[in-house]
């Protein structure tokens, strides 16, 4: 098994202080901070279990927030629906039962058919149209 080669460089003291501060904040060594920074810069980010876990925690938290918001919206809409249903009440005594309404429509249609002439009355047409 081959080991990774060691790379070193000199950095300004303020960079070193920033690296050490990040290492303390994240609970890592300065070498791990530099390794991750180089990996990000080169596009070769090493995804560790810790970073994946942290990412998942953030995503789950975001999903929980979205679910809470949607639940609140649904409850609000349900309440509005109940309120609207109580406001809109149509008395049944004024409504026509469906079968009777269909009979009325059918009788109107039959009357229209009976009013249609069986023959064309040519006397009323223009001589050009006859």
Q: Is 38 a member of any domain?
A: yes
Domain that holds residue 38: 11-54
Identify the burial level of 23 via C-beta atoms within 10 angstroms of its C-beta, where 0-12 means exposed, 13-18 middle and 19 or more buried: middle
Encode pLDDT of 22-81 as tens digits. Answer: 999 988 899 989 988 888 888 876 666 777 788 889 899 999 999 999 999 999 999 999
Are 48 and 36 contacting, i.e. CB atoms less than 8 angstroms apart? no
Q: What is the pTM of this model?
A: 0.36
Q: Is 116 a member of any domain?
A: no
Q: Is 47 a member of any domain?
A: yes
Encode pLDDT of 71-118 as tens digits. Answer: 999 999 999 998 888 888 755 555 555 566 666 666 666 665 555 556
- Name the domain count of the chain: 1
């Amino acid at each position: 098994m081959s080991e990774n080669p060691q790379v070193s460089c000199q950095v300004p003291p303020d960079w070193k202080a920033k690296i050490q501060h990040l290492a303390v904040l994240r609970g890592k060594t300065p070498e791990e901070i530099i390794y991750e920074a180089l990996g990000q810069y080169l596009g070769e980010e090493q995804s560790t279990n810790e970073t994946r876990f942290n990412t998942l925690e953030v995503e789950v938290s975001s999903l929980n927030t979205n679910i809470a918001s949607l639940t609140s919206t649904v409850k609000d809409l349900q309440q509005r629906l109940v309120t609207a249903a109580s406001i809109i009440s149509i008395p049944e005594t004024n409504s026509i039962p469906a079968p009777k309404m269909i009979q009325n429509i059918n009788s109107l249609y039959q009357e229209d058919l009976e009013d249609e002439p069986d023959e064309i009355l040519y006397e009323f047409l223009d001589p050009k149209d006859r």
